Amino acid sequence: MMMETVVYAREFLFMKELYDKGELGKVQFLKASHQQDMDGWPGYWPGLPPMYYATHCVGPVLGLMRSEAEYVSCFGSGTIREEMHGFYNSPYAVETTHIKFRDSDLSAHIYRSLFDVARQYRESFEVYGSKQSVEWPLIEGRPLVVHTAKRPEPEIPSETESPDYAHLLPEPIRAFTKQGVYDADEHQHLSFTQGGGHGGSHPHLVHAFLDALKNNTQPYPNAVQSANITCVGILAHESAKQGGAVIKLPEFTLLK
């Protein structure tokens, strides 16, 4: 199992619940982003191609319907500082990718930036359905926006606070979906503090892993699904270097 936080975050669980109940209607499109200023991070980060670390935005677009990527096409945009080019032989400030889903009429759009782009930290996920769509807020801490079809135009959008899904967990670990539980820890990783506690995902993903071990079941994402999610980012960067060439996911990343 890959411990991908976003597919266990409360916002994703909220959208997954809407999908599972049929409230979104037919899903028509998905979009996600992960933007972060990584200046000052450890020495292996500078110059990293944005799509090399794309699981936070690939995971939710594939995870909502447990989909697989069939092929990708990616473009690089902009240029980071020249002193960072040599680390990974990559100049791109932003990489933006389209993912074609396997055995589906759907595609998704993801984009990432790590250096020299003015943006507050953002891990976003958006889903557009025929009945309802859900959009991520532009500013951290604001509510999600749910759009409901066929209402009078001013009534289509509504700001919606994502509920917490601690009730899905065993009682002794429910409190750990709240960021305040960790406030006394002086060794918090910057990714946790910037990411607003990763949407309360940590106890959910640990519980899913241990439950899979106990019951001998497959967690999400399992090994093959994790390979599919990860290879999207790796191959997307290869596509960017080739001017947006279409690159197929390898067979070992596809469930039989």
Q: What is the mean pLDDT of the chain?
A: 93
Residue 180 confidence (pLDDT): 56
pLDDT of residue 189: 52
The mean per-residue pLDDT over the stretch 81-110 comes to 97
- pLDDT mean over 36-61: 95
Average pLDDT of the segment spanning 234-254: 98
Are residues 3 and 205 in contact, defined by beta-carbon separation less than 8 angstroms?
yes
Q: Would you state the pLDDT for residue 256?
A: 85
pTM: 0.91
The per-residue pLDDT for 195 is: 45
Residue 157, CA atoms < 13 Å, CB-side half-sphere: 9
Pair of tokens at residue 205: 């993903």
Burial code (b: 16+ CB inside 10 Å, e: under 16) for 131-157 equals ebbbbbeeeeeeebbbeeeeeeeeeee
Q: What average pLDDT does the segment 162-171 reach?
A: 95
For the chain, the structural domain boundaries read 6-162+221-253
Average pLDDT over residues 82-108: 97
Q: Is it the case that residue 152 has pLDDT exceeding 80?
A: yes
Q: What is the DSSP string of 81-115?
A: -GGGHHHHT---SEEEEEEEETTSS-EEEEEEE-S
Q: Is the pLDDT confidence value at 47 over 50? A: yes
pLDDT digits (tens, 9 = 90+) for 225-235: 999 999 999 99
Beta carbons of 81 and 116 less than 8 angstroms apart: yes
CATH 3.30.360.10 fits 6-162+221-253, yes or no: yes
Tell me, what's the pLDDT at 18? Answer: 98
Rounded Cα distance between 131 and 84, Å, is 45
What pLDDT sits at residue 193?
52
Mean pLDDT confidence for 124-145: 96
pLDDT for 169: 96
Q: Which tokens hold the place of 171?
A: 């009682």
Is residue 188 over pLDDT 70? no
